[in-house]
Chain A
Amino acid sequence: MNQEAWTLLFLPLITAVVCQFILRKSFITPLASTASALITLVLAISLLGREGTLSFDWATIGDFKLSIGIHLDKLSTGMMVVVTGIGTLVHIFSLAYMDQDEAKGRYFTGLAFFMFSMTGIVLASNFIMTFIFWELVGFSSYLLIGHWYQKASAADAAKKAFLCNRVGDFGFMIGILMLWGITGTLAFGEMEVSPAVSTATLSAAILCIFCGAIGKSAQLPLHVWLPDAMEGPTPVSALIHAATMVAAGVYMLFRVQLSLGAEVFHGLQASVVIAWTGGITALVAALMAIQQDDIKKILAYSTLSQLGYMVMAVGLVAGEAGMFHLYTHAWFKALLFLGSGAVIYSCHHEQDIWKMGGLWKKLPITTACFGAGFLALIAIPFTSGFFSKEQILEAAHHEQPVLFWIAVFVAVLTPFYMTRLFLIAFMGKPRAHGAEEAREVSPVMWVPLAILATLALISGYPFIAEQIAPAYLKPHHLIHLGFTTYVSIGAVLAGIAAGFALYFGKDKDPLDIPLLRNKFYIDDIYDKFIVRYFQDTFAALIHFFDELFINGLAVGGLSRASVSVGNFFRRVQSGNLQAYSYAFGLGVVLVIYFTVFR
């Protein structure tokens, strides 16, 4: 068991290193990376159901020991299957999608490095290790978003993602230290909160940790990086910005909840804040998704909205429901992104849904798979999304009626914007040259889609969820017909009906809501207010001090002093032979005077 676990962690790192330094641009690099992902998937499946902690000391400072360890339990092994499963499929899909790319060696090296970082977060046995891999994940995400760094927008998006994550990570680091102070340990397996700790202190610590999740899982107000991150290659969006990395925030929160004990979180102010942040993110992101035209942007806002659901569930101390939704969402959102990748690929890199249309005739298999993901996302009964969303709604109904109604409204919006996407892009008539010429993608691309489509439909059923879901509370009945079920089915039907009514057979968007189209102007506010008034003022101030003290006195002053001393002594060097000999003679006279007559 030990060897398997350690191999699972370090194989992707070794692959990344070998690819980076030895294989480089060789045609083997993509295959090596894919093979590594496949092996980790097999290892992850073989580790299912194992429990225990392995670790070795990495650094010892006095009494304080820092260890690198692997914590195996249902949560981490299940999550590993999700990560490596989607990772493998994305690798295979990328083999075809990135075939023509000049830098695919770099791309696959980045993927392998991402797999290593993500595995580290999932398997981490203590908070320091989580934090290290947390940053590594941010770094590999930066590399992959900026894969086409020649495009200014991609380079900017990569920078934005990194900076937004850094903002959250400062809070995360403070939170980790506070929690260390409270519990006296960093290991997940040993955490315990003594009753003496005041709830206010605990709330503050958990909120600081939540800051990390806000950054990584792109919750309001740091959500701005995720839609921009769509500048990266589409398989990367599927793997990192839909299924795994952005879910790391939720995973980490649930891990903390498990370690401290769920009862600690009941009635804590921090839980309320977390739940409301999630709920509001879900609502705002779904509203933004309604008016986007870029197929990947729609899916990105949809991801934000679903992440909001998960965070809300964790905040409502129904982490199992949140993790279950994370697990089903990972499959169907990876499917939707890879499907959109296939569409973009066959439409000659066209991303505007209004320039697609009629794709179901040209791309029957892709359409069928995308359709399965669509049904799961809007939570049609008997698909995986339905089961998990049901659990979240149930929890919300139980704990917080207001949040419940917000969640229901989001459940109306989700089918609405997804119906819009599906009708415009896949139905109707082709509206642009790219869509007319679209051809079905190769099996290397549609086989991963088909596998994901199957999982999107069946992964919510107990027979499979009990095996591989990171957290799963088996319901007493498969479908419990109660108030929430009626409401959620009604919401889905209402959303679909509204979508059909507005968008069936349309060639132009009948709705035009500038507020939503411009994403509530949040990006503009950040740009105008924070960047211009805060950052630029601060930069001007620093520039002033830099010019005055560093440049003017410290560096410039020293150099000016030495220049003037040099100028003075320069005159001694007259270049006249006789002057030298005269000075020399004078020197001799002086020496004789001092040695003989003094």
Chain B
Amino acid sequence: MASLNEYLLVSGLLFAIGLAGVVLRRNIIVVFMCLELMLNAANLTLIAFSRFNTLDGLPNYNGLMLVFFVITVAAAEVAVGLAIIVALYRTRQTIHTDELTTLKG
């Protein structure tokens, strides 16, 4: 079985890829997907800690429980986020972040 460090490394890589996507990509759907990627990186960390932090030979289920919550919230968030993107496209006819500059002061 792989060690805890390997899991954390993979999780950190996923998170970094997600963050880079959020900051650099211009297509808002891709940005959204990268956001999900960051959530799942966090989930992986939680599961890894839960698995390696044993108590009487059993994993610590608190971490697993938290993962379920994150997945639920993420599902809700996807529903709302996609709805926002659709509404945005309808009004502005674009999903490129470069062209969404209404807040510029």
Residues of A with Cβ closer than 8 Å to B? 569-578, 581-582, 585
Contact = CB atoms under 8 A, between A and B. Distances in A.
Contacts of B102: 575
A582 B19 CA distance: 9
Contacts of A574: 104-105
Nearest to B35: A581
Contacts of B24: 578
B14 interface: no
Nearest to B101: A575
Contacts of A582: 23
Residue of A576, A577, A581 with most partner-chain B CB within 10 A: A577
Interface string B87-105: 0000000000110111111
Given A573-B105, A578-B23, 16 more contacts: A569-B105, A570-B105, A573-B103, A573-B104, A574-B104, A575-B101, A575-B103, A576-B101, A576-B104, A577-B28, A577-B97, A578-B22, A578-B97, A581-B22, A582-B23, A585-B22
A571 B100 CA distance: 16
A89 to B, nearest CB: 74
Contacts of A571: 105
Interface in B17-53: 19, 22-24, 26, 28, 31
Contact of B104 (A569, A575, A578, A585): A575
Contacts of B28: 577
A468 to B, nearest CB: 81
A576 B97 contact: yes
B22 A576 contact: no
Contacts of B23: 578, 581-582, 585
A575 B100 CA distance: 7
Contacts of A569: 105
Contacts of A577: 28, 31, 97, 100
Nearest to B104: A575
Contacts of A575: 100-105
A14 to B, nearest CB: 61
Contacts of B103: 573, 575
B43 to A, nearest CB: 18
Contacts of A572: 105
Nearest to B28: A577
Nearest to A578: B23
Residue of A571, A573, A578 with most partner-chain B CB within 10 A: A578
Nearest to A581: B22
Top 9 A-B residue pairs of the complex, sorted by shortest distance between their CB atoms: A575-B104, A573-B105, A575-B101, A570-B105, A577-B97, A575-B103, A582-B23, A578-B23, A581-B22
A461 B20 CA distance: 114
